[in-house]
Structure 1
Amino acid sequence: MKFGIVFFPTVGPDDRPAPQYFDECLQLVDLAESLGYDHAKIVEHYFFRYGGYSPDPVTFLAAAAGRTSRIRLGTSATIPAFQHPVKLAGKLAMLDNISHGRLDAAFGRGFLPDEFSAFGIPMDESKSRFVENVEAIKRLWSEENVVWEGQYHQFGPVTLLPRPVQQPHPPVFVTTARSAESCAEAARAGHGLQTVPNVMSTEQLQERLGIYRAEWAGSGRAAGTERIHFSYPCVVAPEGEEARRMGRFDDERNTAAISAAVAAWATTTSSAYPGYEQFANIGASRFDEKLAAQKLMIGSPDQVRGQIEQIAEWFGDDVTISLGIHSGHLSVEDAATTLRLLAEEVIPKLSVNLL
């Protein structure tokens, strides 16, 4: 089992100035590297407190690359529909070079109507654009004199420079929220899987992981070579009551941020997003319910260790966990405490297999 950090800001200028937030996140990347964590990731979103401080994850990860030497750097996830594939392939290849081959490239379809509207892209095209652009990017990374005749983009022959350090290309992950078919497609394509357990029940996630692993093996790939990443909000404090107090505060504000970002689903429908209209009615944070269901990793070191061992029992000890430690509502010192307690008092005492 591997552990890393993921940054998903849910703040705006009235909460925390962007320069301060970025400085704090980069300090935490330094700390994560020194404590032996596996990776640091950051999301891509626009306009809202829900992720809006990170419209370009590559910019942040390039800054992180310049001050680290070991930790892997991941997009979580970048949205191919919003960029030309030649441009995105080039930016990511450049990051792979700056970091000396430490890039993990996760791609997502996006799901916020206001973002698609701003880019002038119909939401009904999100899946077809995603599939086309990811394939184009992989070819640009791994082939020369690429000619592309797609539905949305045509180019070539072109040979991308710089070539990625990792050959034939950096690891590719697909981010999916709910779709079982997306899990199957990711496995058949040899992509890693990145998801958020909070958006589905334990049984639903187990079913989707079963599909992913079966399709992975059915495609002729060795069992145990799958790459599965989960993201969990995480607060660890010496006393469980204090951790829960901070975690509740953070979760309530995160819920308010996503509620504002998804409000457009009240007046939006898309064949590519069946059932997403329900997101317009997220409501209260349901902190206690989520904590009881192990959707949040919050508590004392002993409590969080128990949560991780339960997660491993449910989903396997081969999964990688990305910890959301700094949405911007708690102090950077609180986030640093979480990282240290995990590294010193939780992870070394786990009974699960540590890779």
Structure 2
Amino acid sequence: MGHALPGWAPAVGGTGCVFCLYSAHEDASARMGFQALRCEGQPALHARTVGDDSVHTAQGGHMEFGCFFVGQRPLLHEQYGDGQQRNPLPIARTDAQVYHDILKSAQLAETLGFDSVWIAEHAFSEHSIISAPHSLLAAIAAQTTRVKVGVACSIVPWYHPLRLAQDLATLDILSEGRLQIGIGRGYQKQEFDAYGMDMAESRERFLEGMDITLKAWRQERLAYEGQFYRFPEVMVVPHPLQHPHPPIAMAVTHSPASVEAAVAHRWGIVTVGSTFFPAAPEADDNLITLYRTHMLASGVAPEELTIIAARNTYVAAREGEAQAFMQPRFQWAGDLARYLRSPVSTLARTGGLRGYEHYARDPFIDPELVQRRGQEALGAIGTPAQVTATIKDLQARHVTHFLCYMDLGGLTYEQMAPAMRLFAEQVIPHFK
């Protein structure tokens, strides 16, 4: 099992908020939307790729490993609810330094033998300064040749779906078929407010956006009349290199509705803390178990499942060294996460935000829920042996892909590189 730090659980859970969620309380129209998407073309859990398909599937004890960079940039002086100032770094970094460190780290990940490199998408806070992820991912693809590349997650409601389809298809071509796609609908209210969007519409915008995006990849010409998007017949170009499209994984962290959507489309799933969160208050099964059960029942073979777990990761040689190094970063990240997630949780408790009802008790910021459900293996922090044991536990829970969330609290390239090397040399070989 994972080795939890005393008092760090809320912060660990908070850092998981890079992924975007569905509500458990979907209505009939949303269910119809899921089914409509499912009927469009032939959904594929794994795309037919240029080259070896085995990178998409963990078989017989084999696990895929990726590096995940969020692009955090702690401010030199910042205050949250308790008025205390915290910054785990002695100095603040520039935006350019954050981006260049990610590029160097991505190249190192390829050299060390990692299977994939992923980046986040967020805007308007130091939690992540990657607000144009497709541009950054194009640079990563240009500076690497082998690793799969992906965004976890592209926040679908923010995009015109034709633009999203074009951007992702272009990335797949430029990366020579190495693109993997993570999708979500967003959870930070300040982001929707800044873009002038009604957050309560995010579910419907997500459904309609994905309907158009999938059709754009499968059809030569497309016209559409929807609730949010209407356009005459247009020629849709370019198309992705992978056919019919790159592999898609949907973020599932809170709700069974997310699992239902992923199963309906035969998408993979991305989890942060949901490995240990029940699928419903009265249920014993967690979301991964729920997903796997329904996928197998629908005829998908176990070796075709894609279950991705992203965890804060840091490896050091000596006992206690990694935990001590990461402690202030977890504290900073937890404070920021509560600040960013609380507005949605508050509105959900009063029924003031349709589609986010499940946030009424947010397991990433509610101390009681975190204490009860969240301490175990929300981070892979420790010696190589400790981290290996944590990941083996996740593997026993049917996780097929492990993403090392490397830059929590604004770690620099110089701070990440030794941990990445140690992970590659002394952890990955146990799973190959």
Could you state the TM-score of these two structures normalised by the residue count of structure 2? 0.75
How far does the alpha carbon of each residue in 1:204-245 deviate from its partner, in whole angstroms, 9 at most, with x for none? 595322221232233333332111111100010111311011
Aligned to 2:223: 147
Aligned to 1:26: 103
> What's the CA shift for 1:203?
5.1
Structure 1 residue 232 corresponds to structure 2 residue 311:
yes
Amino acid aligned to 1:320: H
Aligned to 2:339: 260
> What's the CA shift for 1:322?
0.7
Aligned with residue 120 of structure 2, among 43, 46, 49? 43
CA distance in 1, matches of 2:335, 2:323: 18
Aligned to 2:301: 222
Give yes or no for contact 2:187–2:344 (8 Å, CA) kept in 1.
Answer: no
CA RMSD after TM alignment: 2.5
Amino acid aligned to 1:148: Y
Structure-2 change in CA distance of 1:281 and 1:188 (3 Å): closer
Percent of aligned positions that are identical: 29
SS at match of 2:153: coil
> What's the CA shift for 1:265?
3.0
Aligned with residue 2 of structure 1, among 39, 60, 64? 64
CA distance in 1, matches of 2:186, 2:364: 19
CA distance in 2, matches of 1:302, 1:287: 25
Aligned with residue 260 of structure 2, among 176, 184, 187? 184
How far does the alpha carbon of each residue in 1:87-132 deviate from its partner, in whole angstroms, 9 at most, with x for none? 1111111111111111111110101111111222222211111111
Runs of 5+ unmatched residues, structure 2: 1-62, 77-91
Aligned to 1:16: 93
Structure 1 residue 137 corresponds to structure 2 residue 213:
yes
CA distance in 2, matches of 1:44, 1:137: 18
Aligned to 1:88: 164
CA distance in 1, matches of 2:209, 2:177: 22
> What's the CA shift for 1:81?
0.5
Give yes or no for contact 2:98–2:412 (8 Å, CA) kept in 1.
Answer: no
Give yes or no for contact 2:72–2:407 (8 Å, CA) kept in 1.
Answer: no
Q: Which moved more, 1:87-96 or 1:341-350?
A: 341-350
CA distance in 1, matches of 2:185, 2:286: 21
CA distance in 2, matches of 1:325, 1:100: 26
CA distance in 1, matches of 2:167, 2:316: 38
Aligned with residue 120 of structure 1, among 188, 196, 210? 196
Could you state the TM-score of these two structures normalised by the residue count of structure 1? 0.90
Equivalent residues in 2 for 1:165-314 (5 A)?
165-197=241-273, 201=276, 204=279, 206-265=285-344, 268=347, 269-279=352-362, 282=365, 293-313=376-396
> What's the CA shift for 1:288?
9.7
SS at match of 1:337: helix
Which one has more relative contact order, counting CA pairs under 8 Å at least 6 apart? 2
Structure-2 change in CA distance of 1:250 and 1:288 (3 Å): farther
Equivalent residues in 2 for 1:44-123 (5 A)?
44-51=121-128, 53-123=129-199
Structure-2 change in CA distance of 1:262 and 1:159 (3 Å): same
Runs of 5+ unmatched residues, structure 1: none
CA distance in 2, matches of 1:12, 1:179: 30
Structure-2 change in CA distance of 1:172 and 1:213 (3 Å): same
How far does the alpha carbon of each residue in 1:156-199 deviate from its partner, in whole angstroms, 9 at most, with x for none? 322222211111111111112211121122112111111212x5
Amino acid aligned to 2:312: P
Give yes or no for contact 1:253–1:329 (8 Å, CA) kept in 2.
Answer: no
Structure-2 change in CA distance of 1:277 and 1:181 (3 Å): closer
Aligned to 1:325: 406
Structure-2 change in CA distance of 1:210 and 1:280 (3 Å): closer
Structure-2 change in CA distance of 1:311 and 1:200 (3 Å): closer
Amino acid aligned to 1:307: T
Structure-2 change in CA distance of 1:281 and 1:101 (3 Å): closer
CA distance in 1, matches of 2:392, 2:268: 22
SS at match of 1:148: strand
Structure-2 change in CA distance of 1:157 and 1:120 (3 Å): same
Amino acid aligned to 2:170: M
Amino acid aligned to 2:214: K
